[in-house]
Amino acid sequence: MTILLVSGPGISLKEPYNSGIEAFIVSLASQLVDEGHVVDVVADEAEVGAKFELVNPFTTFTSEKPNFFNRFIQKRQFKKLDVDSYDVIHYNMFYPHLLKAGLQFNKTSFLTLHSPADSKRISAYKKLSRQSDVTFVAISERVKRQWDQALGIDIPLIHNGIDIDLWPTKSSIDRDYLLWSARINEKKNVEAAIRVAKHMQLPLKIAGRIADQHYFEKKVKPHLDNQIEYVGHVTQRELSRLARKASAYLATATWQEPFGLAALEMLASGVPVVGFDTAVPPSWAHESVSTTASLHWQDLVELVEKSTAISPSTCAAFASNMNIQTMTSNYVKLYRDVLLQQGIGEKAILPTTV
């Protein structure tokens, strides 16, 4: 197949990634290429040597929230893409004006739902579902349940997966500190991790992009010292190195995480996950994942203490079920099923010979 993956204007696919969606796009695109498909990705930039081809139709971009004029220009530029060679177009980010522009392509289209069903997205996607045959895809049972209800349809479910090879499992020797990694803002709630570490008198390493500078200055910076360390916005390789000596990963988000990619990466590295129910999918019922329905940091202390008995191999075995190969195979199957339902010939959906 020949596939166009769409992120959006100004999106960087270089590490360190701004969110898990960028990591998802790069992983999916790379695995699709490995399996013999031709993949182009709409984004602003990508790593030198990326397996996929970068396509950037947007000649201008502003980091500010786009106004009507900017959206109009972006729509016009996106419409000029030559999409004749693509079998499918797969959207991944919330740019309603690009989705609307893409309707004119008359191509088999997919949209992965990486976010909860908030009012803004529900309104946009209801219009999209009425105007097109786009196939929505949920990344977890939690997301599927929300969007099934919001859109009144039965949405396909394909769990996220990671490249297990990027997250080698480490031994249980020298577990020196707690680890927290995510965007730094109120809903990701690194403050709870700091309180747990201080109470237990354990070192804590904090990694992630500062998404809310005011929150960082007020809730994080005053606590930084030899015990509580902010290591910055790190690459996957750097985060993997941090995981080598982590005793537990603290998942403290107070919003309902759509999936919890960072937690899965830590499990693959052999690090047990401790956190709130909101921070990991409810379907992750496993001894390597210890959560509480409470949103009080005090209720994490006992779970952290118990997590020391969990072996790295136990964590890795659970994570291995959610790998990039399985995820990609499920997407390819969905692409093919929908293409066949739409009467596309068998020849058009065979993998490219390499």
d(CA 106, CA 129): 14
Nearest 5°: the CA angle 213, 219, 220 is: 80
Domain ranges of the chain: 2-161+323-349, 164-319
Question: Is 156 in contact with 147 (CB distance < 8 Å)?
Answer: no
- At 59 the three-state DSSP class reads coil
Strand-by-strand arrangement of the 108-113 sheet: 53-55, 38-42, 2-6, 88-91, 108-113, 135-138
d(CA 328, CA 31): 7
Dihedral (Cα; 298, 299, 303, 306), 10-degree rounding: 70
Element containing residue 113 per DSSP (H, E): strand 108-113
Alpha-carbon separation of residue 306 from 39, 50, 192, 288, 339 (angstroms): 45, 41, 18, 10, 49
Beta bridge partners of 138: 113, 157
Q: Quick one: pLDDT at residue 106?
A: 92
pTM of the model: 0.93
Q: Quick one: pLDDT at residue 62?
A: 62
Q: Quick one: pLDDT at residue 16?
A: 97
The per-residue pLDDT string of the chain (354 residues; one tens digit each, 9 = 90 and over) reads 999 999 999 999 999 999 999 999 999 999 999 999 999 999 999 999 999 999 999 986 666 677 888 899 999 999 999 999 999 999 999 999 999 999 899 999 999 999 999 999 999 999 999 988 999 999 999 999 999 999 999 999 999 999 999 999 987 677 899 999 999 999 999 999 999 999 999 999 999 999 999 999 999 999 999 999 999 999 999 999 999 999 999 999 999 999 999 999 999 999 999 999 999 998 899 999 999 999 999 999 999 999 999 999 999 999 999 999 999 999 999 999 999 998 875 545 555 443
Question: Is 249 in contact with 272 (CB distance < 8 Å)?
Answer: yes
Q: Which residues 6+ apart lie within 8 Å of 15 measured at CB?
A: 47, 235, 236, 237
d(CA 16, CA 14): 6
Q: 309-335: buried (b, 16+ CB within 10 Å) or exposed (e) per residue?
A: ebebebbbbbbeebbbeebbebbbebb
Q: Quick one: pLDDT at residue 344?
A: 75
d(CA 195, CA 198): 5
Q: Topology of 2-161+323-349 in CATH?
A: Rossmann fold (3.40.50)
d(CA 318, CA 156): 23
Crossing angle of helices 312-319 and 261-268, in 10° steps, is 130
Crossing angle of helices 261-268 and 236-243, in 10° steps, is 50
CATH of domain 164-319: 3.40.50.2000
